[in-house]
Structure 1
Amino acid sequence: MLFHVPYGVAATVRQLVEVIDIKNVSISPDGRLVAFRTEQASIEQNTYGTVWYVQAVDGASPPRRLADGGEMLPDGGGSSKPQLPTWSPDGKWIFFRAVHEGRIEVWRAAVDGSRTEQLTHGSANVRAFSLNPDGSVLYYSVGATRQAVVDAELAEYDRGVHIDRTVMLGEALFRSGFQDGRLATQRLSSGVRLPLLSDVPDHWKALNLSTGVTTELASGQHPASTVKMADLPDIDGAISLIAEDRRTGRIAMLTGQPSVVGQPQVVLAMLPSRKSHRLVKCTAEPCTGKQITHIVWRPGSDEVLFTVSERDSELQESIFRWNAVTGDVHPVVRSRGQITGGGRWGPEPCAASASALVCVAAEADVPPRLERIDLESGSRTVLFAPNQTLAQDMKEFVRVRFVAWADAQGRRYTGQFYPSAARGGRPPPLFVVYYRCTGFLRGSVGDEWPLATFARSGIAALCINAAPLADDAVARYQQGLSSVEGAVKLLARQGAIDSTRVGMGGLSFGSEVTVWTAMHSDLLRAISVSSPVVTPMGSLMMSLGGEEEHTRMGRYWQLGTLEETPDHWRQLSPTYHVERMRAPVLMQMPEQEFRYSLDFIVPLIRRHRADVYVFPHEQHQKSQPRHKLAVYQRNLDWFRFWLLGEEDADPEKVGQYATWRQMRQNLPAVQPH
């Protein structure tokens, strides 16, 4: 048996891994149909199945299955790349890229469900595609052939890898991660991991859909494209998002000057054309000083639909209509949770017709479903709810409540709390995860700590939304520590948790705050992290990045080289304070990142303070389904052991518990800082 999960918890753990996500929502040209793709993990196959569907926007009929969407394309950070379909002008077909057996080609599916067909059959993967205005010609671009990429990898393998700023020194040099449907050798370009030969220029081809004849476009020739940020004139403030009204050529945009790590104060504005310098700004109250996250034109109108995330509430989202001609703003809808995605991979923008939006909605305790939102009345109708069994299970067994509190400095924090039952008259222990709590939480940011399962297993769980982040690293970490202290005091005062049994975990910034809290307080009984923290070894390995990397270290952590800022290095990096890590640490790290913190990890292992697992071929956020299940289960076992004193009877875990018992025997006595 590969995995063992206790009876009564197994369904929930597995369901959390195998939640069906809804992505790539797109409405037909006439506004009658909506196309979307589902993604679902398969633990047995260790992959994600994707399926394209189409459904009437008015909900008069159930979804119609159109086509297998191929393998999920990771985006480099553990998420899936956006793969919006292209509609034929007559609305009878959707066109999409799909990965099958390591080949990326263009396919199309008839929306009546009658047929699906592969259109391109080349030796190179398709990078991008578009249709001509009447839909008779498919333009598509390719780069280097698949064989040329393989040959380049093998040639480099044979002659040795030349070390320069494109090589990630902390990662495997040969076929280290998944790219374009296969394990590929990767190199760094502008902060993004790309396969070899990615710098080969696009070569465009034209496929006549009536005759099936493919012709080569001349070098440098390409079809007209949608507007890009680089096409626009210089304006005040960085442009973060654009949306073009294809009917009139007007361009809606979000601009602003973000802080180093905090939320920008964005401005919603409109340019009358690509070359115009006359910026029309939305000055109404819903547009001002808000966290605007998405924009889309309402077809056939002067209105821009924009989404606002409300940080001081349950991370509610509201959608408004801004008339870019009159300046009027009208509310459309306000949600209890998220209406721009289910929360696992990040936001999923709504699609708009003239009369309605189609959105992926989810709450902390309700998994993703597809909804229609009327643009005039704001009424909501569920179109497709593929996770009904889990939704019912959550409703029956798991209660989630929104909590808010202030720290000693008066800063306000919010979170989602999963209560658990007292045992023997004693309140339950608490697990805390810190960063962001949007959509259906599953395992919070990083998707590693099954919060609902914790609650069902006797451990209350709290996901904390980080306050607007300070630019100074120490201030950010202290905010996190203060937030956790305030939450524990609040919940203990309510009798909801036992403040002497608290665990914590996190990904990325959440990992940094977790380690800082363990170093600077006696609050935590055990911790679990999945990302490296800032260390001298990590800085050394990334230093070939030159001035760009030096600037990044200074900007985010106020760190120079070890010689330039020695005192600040000693203040920030836990490498210098291993003895202060009294709480035992479980590290479940991606292969892409673990080496960057070896100068912190190895001393902890030698002191029996850390148990470390590394997952091959994983990036910042783990994506392989079996890895996700293993991470879920080990985190559950870890906190049951340290917070409840319980062990799973599965004989395959004997070695795991022997290691943890030895760690417990070697724990230092708690001393005040």
Structure 2
Amino acid sequence: MLISLAMSLAGAATAALPVVAADLDCAKMLEIRRPAGAPRPIEATDLIETLDIGSNGGMESDPVFTLSPDRSRLAVAVRRADGKSNSYCSGIYIVSQDGQASLIDAGPGVAFWRYDNFFGTRGFPTGVTKVITPLWASNGESLAFLKLINDRLQLWRWDVGGHSRPVAAAEDDIVDFHFGPDGKSLVYKQRADGPPTEELNQEALRGYRLDERFFPFASRAPYPRGVASYRFYNVNLDGSARRTATQAEIAAFANDRSAALRKGATMVDVKADAEGMSRIHMLIGTAEQFCRSASCTDIEGQPWVTQSGHIRFVRREGWDRSLAAIYEWKGGDTDPDRLFQTSDLLMGCVPIDDDVLCVRENATRPRYIDRISLQDGKSRPIFEPNPDHAKIVHGRVERLQWTNAMGISSFGDLVYPPTFQPSRRYPLIITQYESRGFLRGGTGDEFPIQLFAKAGYLVLNIERPQSPVSAKQLAPLERQRRENADFSARRNILSTIETKVLELIDAGLVDPDRIGITGLSDGSTTTQFAALHSQMFKAASISGCCWEPSQTWLLGTAIQQHYQSIGWPASPEASSAIWSQMSLSRNASRVAFPILMQAADGELYPTLEAVRALRAANSPVDVYVFPDELHIKRQPTHRLNVYRRNLRWFDFWLMDKMPADGIEREEASRWAQMRRDWVQRPIHLPTSD
């Protein structure tokens, strides 16, 4: 058992996903679903089964799409989850500039990103999908891409007018590649984890030594020590001959893929100036120049050089950096000119003629590829993966801006029920902690915002406010240490939420007796803090949990040492002041609201201390554990059931609704018993010790 576990940890990050149904037709599943019929209410599958492009997390900066050399076509990888078969399909689309899209490859499965270096070990999984970036040959006649086959990423090639076929199928994942300088070969980067895996297998027979390789909260086996290692090979386009890559071919992986960064003698990048501020930086020959304007900071993605030698770039600006804008800088001491601004999320923008192609999304529109004219600001979609969403009824979304009690600005989106009536007060659900782009299910995608709205809730989705530690040029660890002092960062977030909720109550929109809060990861931490520091919320649902004394041994030596360095206790007995402010187990009788936990089995152990104490105190808590899951849940059927249980939980506690029959009614009957057993005591909010 331990040997097979060690192998799965060192292997592809998709190993734990369920077997794909043999009859799954991926070509059909990846078809673009056109709008049909009359507008209809949204369903859970509309959110789970979108045709997605790019990653579901910000772990990589690789391009989502690439343009052909003649700029007439783009290539983009897609994926779709399927709730019925609990599986995925992935594929590649070729799209012309007039929007004609052709699926040129399709197959089962999806690749997930894993750490090259996780506290001195490698291969730690995340549940975040890996970005698959197709690359064009210099003549535009073929395309190369990574494809998942039998839980391994292989290198494939497609020729115009032909079919896709494998070029290299290694014993471990191929994670990156580029065309050789002659255009007749491909150079690829392959994980080289075989020998360390064998070492772990041999160690398993003798017994693993408990050391810094262990993260007990996630695994009963160690991870391989050291950062990920790679091998590099050159292979002919037909896969007939392979050799070890040269140093020059290997060095090419360090070069940026975007030729737009350089135009003639002009090169542009983003670089820290003498004060440590990241700015637009231009190099003409050997002459270096920074753009000193405030509009040349907060850059998103890569800047580029226009045909006329000017610099264009995307930046965040406006209230709490909630807007995206495109600027042009002509060099020298001039201020850049703003060419375009939007509240939509823009990603991976690249120039095409005098326009720009961007991955784009907004609160009610899933991700798509848009061509934006920088002359008049008009745009037209080039690739619209989910046109069927135009016929789905979404609740109206209102962008809100405010300042919390600590004087820190933030923003969020208020989503109204489709049948909203101004004369009524509504129950409210808080979701966290990003509010730029498509409002699917909050960070981690577990709390279905539009499904809540459809069920009659107002939903306030919060963007995490900027740090209350305003000092510049602080080392990251020192900033975290200051944020943890007296939980200033957590108080800042809670104040942001409470300030806006009180405004909504005063405006007559929200029923103060029916407010729920949700969260995953950082959002779960805020919810845990609110359970001991707020009387506003009546129910909560979280994913992973909790910050407890047991974390000092559950996290493992490496992570625990990191947390000690930013102010967390060294042992369960130390720093009672911190546990009195944060621990649910030490304060179980004071927890202010019922809590639903829907945990990945890979994060079960950290919940147990709090759950035992809450149950002993008759404080309502229910826990569901999803097998073969990680920090971000991957399995589509799990995510559907997480969605639906979250809705039932809030329906019970905030609307006093009981399901009619079946397993769902049995589930709610347990919640009803919890409510009868719950002895609510007055909440005495803790003060700093």
Shorter-chain TM range is: 0.7 to 0.9
1:84 equivalent to 2:133? Answer yes
Specify the alignment match of 2:51 in structure 1: 20
1:163 corresponds, among 172, 195, 210, to 210
Alignment match of 1:136 (pick from 143, 163, 184)? 184
| Structure 1 position 10, deviation (Å) | 8.4
Q: Cα distance, 1:253 vs. partner?
A: 2.1
Question: Does the 8 A contact of 1:242 with 1:295 survive in 2?
Answer: no
Moved more, 505-514 or 488-497: 488-497
Task: Report the Cα offset of residue 304 of structure 1.
Answer: 4.0
Please report how far the alpha carbon of residue 223 of structure 1 lies from its aligned counterpart in structure 2 after TM superposition: 3.2
- Pair 133,69 (structure 1): closer, same or farther in 2 beyond 3 Å: farther
- Indicate if the aligned counterparts of 2:77 and 2:134 stay in contact, CA closer than 8 A: no
Residues 33-48 of structure 1: matches in 2 within 5 Å? 33-48=73-88
Alignment partners' CA distance in 2, 1:664 and 1:242: 62
Which whole-Å CA distance do the structure 1 matches of 2:529 and 2:644 have between them? 25
Structure 1 position 253 matched with structure 2 position 270: yes
How do residues 410-421 of structure 1 correspond to structure 2 at under 5 angstroms?
410-420=407-417
Write out per-residue CA displacement over residues 595-620 of structure 1, whole angstroms, 9 at most, x where no aligned residue: 12422222123334210112222222
Helix, strand or coil at the partner of 2:388: helix
Q: Does structure 1 conserve the Cα–Cα contact (< 8 Å) formed by 2:404 and 2:496?
A: yes
Secondary structure of 2:587's aligned partner = helix
The yes-or-no answer on 1:626 pairing with 2:637 is yes
Structure-2 residue corresponding to 1:284: 293
Cα distance change on mapping 1:408 and 1:225 into 2, 3 Å: same
Secondary structure of residue in 2 paired with 1:378: coil
Q: Distance in 2 between matches of 1:53 and 1:326?
A: 43
Letter in 1 for 2:532: M
Following superposition, the deviation at residue 655 of structure 1 comes to: 2.9
| 1:140–1:386 distance in 2 versus 1, CA, 3 Å | closer
**Does 2:43 align with 1:30?**
no
Structure 1, unpaired ranges of 5+: 1-7, 175-184, 191-197, 230-240, 259-263, 341-348
CA contact (8 A) 1:308 1:317 kept: yes
Q: CA deviation at 1:371?
A: 0.7
- For residues 374-397 of structure 1, what are the alpha-carbon distances to aligned partners after superposition, in whole Å with 9 as ceiling and x for unaligned? 344433111122222223313xx4
Query: Does residue 658 of structure 1 match 2:669?
Result: yes
* C-alpha distance 635-217 of structure 1, shift in aligned 2 (>3 A): same
Would you say the 8 A contact 2:406–2:492 is kept in 1?
Answer: no
TM-score by length of 2: 0.80
Question: Whole-Å Cα distance in 2 between the matches of residues 637 and 464 of structure 1?
Answer: 22
In 2, Cα distance between equivalents of 1:228 and 1:668: 63
- Change beyond 3 A, Cα 1:143–1:495: closer
Asked if structure 1 preserves the Cα contact closer than 8 Å seen for 2:416 and 2:453, the reply is: yes
**Residues 589 and 615 in structure 1, CA contact (< 8 A), matched pair in contact too:** yes
Aligned counterparts, 1:119-518, within 5 A: 119-144=167-192, 154-173=201-220, 186-187=223-224, 198-199=228-229, 202-209=230-237, 212-217=240-245, 222-227=249-254, 244-245=261-262, 250=267, 252-255=269-272, 266-270=278-282, 280-288=289-297, 291-298=298-305, 302-310=309-317, 312=319, 315-323=322-330, 329-340=336-347, 349-394=348-393, 397-420=394-417, 427-470=425-468, 471-473=482-484, 474-518=487-531
Counterpart secondary structure, 1:224: helix
* Residue correspondence of structure 1 range 566-585 to structure 2 within 5 A: 566-585=576-595
On the 8 A contact 2:261/2:305 being kept in 1, the answer is no
Tell me the alpha carbon deviations over residues 449-482 of structure 1, each in whole angstroms, 9 at most, x when there is no partner.
Answer: 1111111111211101222123423112212222
Deviations 1:478-509 (CA, angstroms, capped at 9, x unpaired): 12222222222211222211011100001111
Q: 1:100 to 1:527 in 2, by over 3 A?
A: same
Q: Aligned pair in 2 of structure 1 residues 516, 337: CA closer, same or farther (>3 Å)? A: same
Aligned equivalent of 2:32 = none
The answer to whether the Cα contact below 8 Å between 2:303 and 2:314 also exists between their aligned partners in 1 is no
SS of equivalent residue, structure 2 residue 462? strand
Equivalent residue, structure 1, for 2:621: 610
Query: For residues 616 and 406 of structure 1, what CA distance do their matches in structure 2 show?
Result: 41
**What residue identity is the alignment partner of 1:51?**
G
Determine the C-alpha separation between the residues in 1 that align with 2:84 and 2:387.
Answer: 22
The AA in structure 1 aligned to 2:616 is R
Contact 1:9 1:457 in 2 (8 A): no
Change (3 A) 1:186 1:19: farther
**Which deviations, in whole Å up to 9, do the C-alpha atoms of 1:108-148 show, x marking residues without a partner?**
122x45321111134343243221223112122334487x6
Q: 2:606 aligns with which of 588, 596, 610?
A: 596
Distance of 2:88 and 2:94 partners within structure 1: 20
1:117 corresponds to which of 162, 165, 187: 165
| Aligned equivalents of 1:156, 1:419: Cα separation in 2 | 57
Distance 1:325 1:120 in 2: 48
Amino acid of the structure 1 residue aligned with 2:45: R
1:512 Cα offset (Å): 1.2
Q: Distance in 1 between matches of 2:188 and 2:391?
A: 44
- State the Cα distance separating 1:355 from its structure 2 match: 3.0
Paired residue secondary structure (1:38): strand
Q: 1:408 to 1:299 in 2, by over 3 A?
A: closer
Does the 8 A contact of 2:414 with 2:459 survive in 1?
Answer: yes
Distance in 1 between residues matched to 2:405 and 2:218, nearest whole Å: 42
Quote the RMSD (CA, aligned, Å): 3.2
Does the Cα contact within 8 Å between 2:552 and 2:570 map onto a contact in 1? no
Q: Which residue, out of 536, 542, 549, partners 1:529? A: 542
Residue aligning to 2:5: none
How far apart are 1:356 and its partner, in Å? 2.8
1:329: Cα distance to partner? 2.1
User: Retained in 2: the 8 A contact 1:242–1:253?
Assistant: no
Q: Distance in 2 between matches of 1:243 and 1:535?
A: 49
Aligned residue identity for 2:454: R
Change (3 A) 1:171 1:543: closer
8 Å contact kept, 1:52–1:69: no
% identical aligned pairs: 25
Count residues in correspondence. Answer: 608
| Structure 1 residue aligned with 2:145 | 96
Contact preservation (8 Å) 1:537, 1:598: no
Rounded Cα–Cα distance in structure 2 between residues aligned with 1:325 and 1:118? 50
Instruction: Please give the alpha-carbon distance, in whole angstroms, between the structure 2 residues aligned to 1:619 and 1:558.
Output: 24
